[in-house]
Amino acid sequence: MNRYAMGIDIGGTFTDVVLYDMAEGRRLTRKTLTTPGDPAEAVLSAVDQVLAEEAVSAREIERVVHATTLFTNALIERKGARTALLTTEGFRDSLEIGRERKYDLYDLAAKKPRALVPRDLRFEAGERILADGSIHQALDDNSLAKAAEALREAQVGSLAIVFLHSYRNDSHERTAGDRMAELLPDIAISLSSDVAPEIREFERASTTVANAYIKPLARDYLDALGSRLGDRAITAPLLLMLSSGGLTHVGEVRRSPVQMLESGPAAGALAAADIGRAEGLEHVLAFDMGGTTAKLCLIDGDEPDIAYRFEAARERRFAEGSGLPIRISTVELIEIGAGGGSIARIDALGLLKAGPDSAGAVPGPVAYGRGGTAPTVTDADFALGFLGAEGFAGGAIEVDLAATRDALEKLAEQADLSAEKIAWGVHDLVNENMASAARVHIAEKGRDPRAYTLVATGGAGPVHAYYMARKLGIKRIVCPRNAGVASAFGLLLAPARVDRTAAFASSLDEMDWSTLESTYQELEAAARQVIADTGMDADAAKVQRLADMRNVGQGFELVVNLPSGPYSGDSRDSLLDAYAQAYQAHFTRPPPNVPTAIAAIRVRLTAPIDASADGLSGQADDASAQTGQRPVYFPETDGMVTTPIYDRTALAIDQKFEGPAVVEEAESTMVIGPGGRFHVSNSGNLIIDLPEDEA
């Protein structure tokens, strides 16, 4: 009988595996260091350990769900395939020209992100399709043959084909794709009409090129992982987390791996939303901090918001326009280069800096004893007593505290401070960086951070949550059990989900309603097929129709949730009402009295998974959860204080405790400052209340 579901999340520093016992509601977890050279190695090591330790048969696993930062890191580090671009004659340089607008008008030396395809690997095809979809110039086969010969000589591994206006008529792209596959059978091919069938040539090209850049990597990795899981007799289907917070099958990701760029952070947001529901919270600030990055996501209601565009590999982390524009559906969040592995240093001006460069898993923080020499945030947390060496990461890492102290003392000498002060400076600086990012993100939404409850997850999230919450004026923190592997568990909460888009340009006043309805139905049918291929009940899937709408004459659109179909001429007023509500919510004013148009249509199909965090965190009824004590630094006392250490698994429900305290479990550690109070709720989550006079 199949009774287990497995979640696998590969991060920049740690790889997490959660085995969920669906019969008894138990979570079996394992955290291990990521192996960048062969990411599957860490996955398989963790899987082998958890199956052996729990005596679980591989054949009892019903499904395996996977998220990874592998593809995002390949973009950031420019370690993807050797990629070429085939585009319409005369548009070779549009990928590099981009948009006229600079992300910093006053910085004459502002750097644009380096194009994934160098100019000598951009080729032109003789063809031209007009904006209405009509063919102005037939596709020239000779230009395809010439490009194929050049690609063969350049030993290109992947090709993006992006023709002008292919979102209206994809015939030339498909013909070119078939021809290039015939001439170059070993090359991976990505068509913009498959990957991002939307208006705006630059954004469509950028997304398609990014997809092509990581496609061979995704293909090889997923094939190898599936094969090696099969060698262990794990025959359950391998499902992949999408950036939108949904699941799909391997074939869909092999076609369009760009959809997975934000898969890990999306899983963390889903876990935080589930925790918020269990605690009855209306407003949640999800805070997931791992070894390489920190992620922040606002959740108002049951689910995180979805965005339909984001930027990868930004030159400046908060500067819009400084990255590669990607047009996919993604959970709306922000990422900050602040993790446990973020490297601390003194800059040329004598100022303390931390991140965004990270020690990652190799060599890792100095404390890990794997060759790291530069002090990191994790090293500072060890020096402050926030982290304990014994049993760290479930005993997977033997901590070298002496090396940590030596590295911090060298940094302290440069700043003319004590090692204790420099360690607190590193911790506090990273907290301020994250709090600043949160303030900006929340302010852009027109919200007040004090209305939110902070849900802390990730290996480092609970360590930093208390003092980050103080900076934001947040009064309450919720920390789930197994917080360090929450993203991996979030994978098991995700529904099967498919998003499909089609260009459809028309004002509502001139709408061909039958064509609109038939186009929606075609998108829904294609999405249902993907749901069925994923192994879910496609007939039971929830359908949401959306449209990119704008006032006639405007240059950009709002994505609007629409009422359900079918649509006819009688639907005009209901679509106008939906647009007016979305416009009011976004701009805090009603739309002007001008005609309204649709630029593109979208469908979203979701088929929920039967899983929940409720009941997963039953606690031992043991009033003596304290396991010991150690010196811990707190800014309120400006020094080290002997602090009780508690075992997370031994805390009894509703038993009240007061800070200062450190609460430890295998995957993470929660720090509570003086004056803080904490208890375990009926849902099994750790609830921390900050003192009123310090928040």
The model's pLDDT over 614-668, given as tens digits with 9 standing for 90+, comes to: 433 444 445 578 999 999 999 999 899 999 999 998 998 888 999 899 999 988 9
pLDDT at 318: 66
* Range list of H helices, 184-231: 192-195, 201-231
State the pLDDT at residue 2: 67
Cβ contacts of 105 within 8 Å, gap of 6 or more: none
pLDDT of residue 444: 83
Whole-number Å distance between alpha carbons of 183 and 372: 48
Q: Judging by DSSP bridges, how do beta strands 352-358 and 342-346 pair with one another?
A: antiparallel
Which pTM was predicted? 0.87
Record: fold of 496-607:
Dna Ligase; domain 1 (3.30.1490)
What pLDDT does 618 receive? Answer: 42
| Nearest residue to 152 via CA among 116, 189, 186 | 186
What is the model's pLDDT at position 139?
97
Residue spans of the domains in the chain: they are 4-75+220-260, 76-219, 342-428, 496-607
Nearest in space to 180 (alpha carbons), one of 214, 137, 224, 149: 149
3-state secondary structure of 676: coil
Q: How far is CA 270 from CA 333, 455, 680, in A?
A: 12, 11, 21
pLDDT for position 616: 39
pLDDT tens sequence across 203-260:
999 999 999 999 999 999 999 999 999 999 998 889 999 999 989 999 999 999 999 9
The H or E element that residue 39 is part of is helix 39-53
Q: What is the pLDDT of residue 395?
A: 73
Residue 20: strand pairing partners: 5, 27
Burial class (CB in 10 A: 0-12, 13-18, 19+), 604: buried
Q: Please say whether the beta carbons of 674 and 636 come within 8 A.
A: yes
pLDDT at 32: 87
User: Which residues of the chain register pLDDT less than 70?
Assistant: 1-2, 317-318, 610-623, 693-695
CATH classification for the domain delimited by 4-75+220-260, as one of 2.60.40.10, 3.30.2320.50, 3.30.420.40, 3.40.190.10: 3.30.420.40
Distances (CA, A) of 206 to 88, 258, 326, 367, 675: 15, 11, 7, 40, 51
In angstroms, the CA 650 to CA 447 distance is 37
- DSSP letter for each residue of 241-310: E-TTS-EEEHHHHHH-GGGGTTHHHHHHHHHHHHHHHHTT-SEEEEEEE-SS-EEEEEEESSS--EES-E
